[in-house]
Structure 1
Amino acid sequence: MIARRHSVLGRLLDSAVDDEIRARVARMGTPFNELGYDSWGGSRLATERMLALSRWFYRTYFRTETRGVELIPPGRVLLIGNHSSQLAYDGMVVAAAVALEGDPPRHVHAMVERFFAGQPFVNVFMARTGQQIGLPRHCERLLTRDEAAVLVFPEGARGGGKVFRDRYKIMGFGTGFMRIALRTRTPIVPFGFVGGEEMCPSFSEMKPLARLLGAPYLPLTPTLLPLPLPARCYLRFGPPMRFEGVGDEADEVIGPMVADVEHTVAALIADGLERREHIFF
């Protein structure tokens, strides 16, 4: 039964893979082998299917307005921004923007919560579409060996699981991304994402049940389903930020650098909120 459902879904996604999607994935330059896989287990077929699905959400469902994607430099780069939307739709929109609006298009590799590594089907899906568990060694390898574009939400689960009353409030950036940026001499491109808090508004983290399931959080949303509300999305990328250091500095040294990025992201969020005229149309 499961295999049959996967087959039907696969055929539906294949029907959405057109010349634009194939050309975009080909221009990403991902080194797929003769079987269609890369060294991380990523699949060309899964990448094409995911981009086709993301395109529909990006252009039709969320009607995303993106600015500044041309500011993303070639080579290794960390994309750093605010976390929202509960169900990772924010990451999908950011990745779609870089793949569909970027010239050349790039495959964004997101760092995701360790919890998902143990979830059947989800862990395979992540690997096939190029997403990795958020371990420093994974991030550094993507940057230094693959010269990849890596997406990191430094708020972690605090940001993804925030409730609606805290919408667009940055819940505090960790320092790990900055230490990786310094160790690998990687530029940081900040971004502000608006729309995620309304597409999946959460009114409770349901912490007792989340702990029982071993999940970082368990959002209670109006739809009670994984499908988000059709909130319009506004995505703002800022100019690259570069910092000097080796990555093992004391927190007192790293802290102001992190705060600089956090303040920049907050300003980009504020710009998106100011430009937004309507939430759902």
Structure 2
Amino acid sequence: MRDSVVEMIRATGAELGSARRLLGEAGGVAWDRLLDWLVDDYFRVVALGLENIPAQGPAVIAVNHSGAWGLDAFVLDKVLGRALDRRVRFLAAPFVFRTPILGRHARRNGALPIGPTAGVEHLNAGQLVGVYPEGIAGLEKPFTERYRLRSFSPGFAVAAIRSGAPVVPVGIVGAEEACPKLGEVPTLARLLGVPYFPVTTPFPLPSNWTITIGEPIPAPARPDGLAARRDAARALSERTRTAVQELIDRELADREHLFD
């Protein structure tokens, strides 16, 4: 009798596990279709300069972070996944992997947890690594400061110099208007265990998006001495920040219609 009960529990557990996997797969398909619709029909995303991403060898893809919900990360991942014959391994904050839907999507697309040496191993292996050097600060800025880049964390520059990988600057325009940050609710953020919880529109607005990919910035030779390496990383980080801001400013100046 006891063996039968144990076997029944095991069988039930296996069935529940299979059901969870099926639901996860179905959710993944639905999420991909939603992103396809957002990219093609809702945001009408235009990608410029895709040829600037190296066809082989390592590179760091450095991107501005904008819009209250960080939807830009998913849109860019979808666009590059379609356009390139190689995967971009984006770095993601720890809370992303703890979130059911976001975590599943991040793992399925090869995202890497942020860490002191995150991405170096993959760059040394000749892969593409994507970063949002502003971090959450890029999403937290109010709508009145849209498209004004926050400080870049130099970690990506350290990784680029260590691996000899060039840095490819990328500017995204459209996300700030799609999800304008109007405020935030710190109490709710603490309850949910996320860095912040924004007040924004209930659903993204149908703004026109442009993704502009600039020319690669070569990483300097790795200097001797800790102080010299710090200075080199800061210089590369600031040069990249300037390049991304210039891409954004140029696209804003050329933009004819915010909404179609």
Give the SS at the match of 1:169. Answer: coil
In structure 2, the CA distance between the partners of 1:120 and 1:213, relative to structure 1 (3 Å rule), is same
Residues 108-119 of structure 1 mapped to structure 2, 5 A cutoff: 108-119=88-99
Q: Does 1:220 align with 2:199?
A: yes
Q: Does 1:90 align with 2:72?
A: yes
Question: Is the 2:117–2:159 contact (alpha carbons within 8 Å) kept by the matching residues of 1?
Answer: no
Q: Does 1:79 align with 2:61?
A: yes
In 2: Cα distance, 1:56 partner to 1:12 partner: 15
Match of 1:41 in 2: none
TM-score normalised to the size of structure 1? 0.76
Q: Does 1:141 align with 2:121?
A: yes
- The percent identity for this pair of structures is 31
In 2: Cα distance, 1:101 partner to 1:135 partner: 28
The alpha-carbon deviation at position 89 of structure 1 amounts to 1.8
Residues 1-281 of structure 1 mapped to structure 2, 5 A cutoff: 7=22, 10-11=25-26, 50=32, 52-73=33-54, 74-102=56-84, 105-145=85-125, 147-223=126-202, 227-246=203-222, 248=226, 249=228, 251-281=230-260
In 2: Cα distance, 1:82 partner to 1:228 partner: 18
In structure 2, the CA distance between the partners of 1:79 and 1:271, relative to structure 1 (3 Å rule), is same
What is the total number of aligned residue pairs between the two structures?
241
Give the SS at the match of 2:80. Answer: helix
In structure 2, the CA distance between the partners of 1:141 and 1:208, relative to structure 1 (3 Å rule), is same
TM-score normalised to the size of structure 2? 0.82
Alpha-carbon deviations, 1:77-135, whole Å to 9, x = none? 11102101232321122222222233xx3322211112223334533332122112112
Higher mean alpha-carbon deviation, 240-249 vs 259-268, is at 240-249
Higher mean alpha-carbon deviation, 66-75 vs 120-129, is at 120-129
In structure 2, the CA distance between the partners of 1:195 and 1:3, relative to structure 1 (3 Å rule), is farther
In structure 2, the CA distance between the partners of 1:106 and 1:57, relative to structure 1 (3 Å rule), is farther
The alpha-carbon deviation at position 191 of structure 1 amounts to 0.9
Question: Is the 1:163–1:205 contact (alpha carbons within 8 Å) kept by the matching residues of 2?
Answer: no
**Tell me, which stretches of 5 or more residues in structure 2 are unaligned?**
1-15
1:230 counterpart letter in structure 2? P
Match of 1:36 in 2: none
1:137 counterpart letter in structure 2? T
Larger Rg: 2
Alpha-carbon deviations, 1:123-179, whole Å to 9, x = none? 33321221121124341122223x222110100010022221111010111111100
Question: Is the 1:162–1:205 contact (alpha carbons within 8 Å) kept by the matching residues of 2?
Answer: no
**Tell me, which stretches of 5 or more residues in structure 1 are unaligned?**
17-48
In 1: Cα distance, 2:105 partner to 2:25 partner: 13
Higher mean alpha-carbon deviation, 114-123 vs 268-277, is at 114-123
In structure 2, the CA distance between the partners of 1:141 and 1:59, relative to structure 1 (3 Å rule), is same
Question: Is the 1:108–1:151 contact (alpha carbons within 8 Å) kept by the matching residues of 2?
Answer: yes
In 1: Cα distance, 2:115 partner to 2:193 partner: 19
After the TM superposition, which segments of 4 or more aligned residues of structure 1 sit over 6 Å from their partners? 1-6
Question: Is the 2:154–2:234 contact (alpha carbons within 8 Å) kept by the matching residues of 1?
Answer: yes
Give the SS at the match of 1:198. Answer: helix
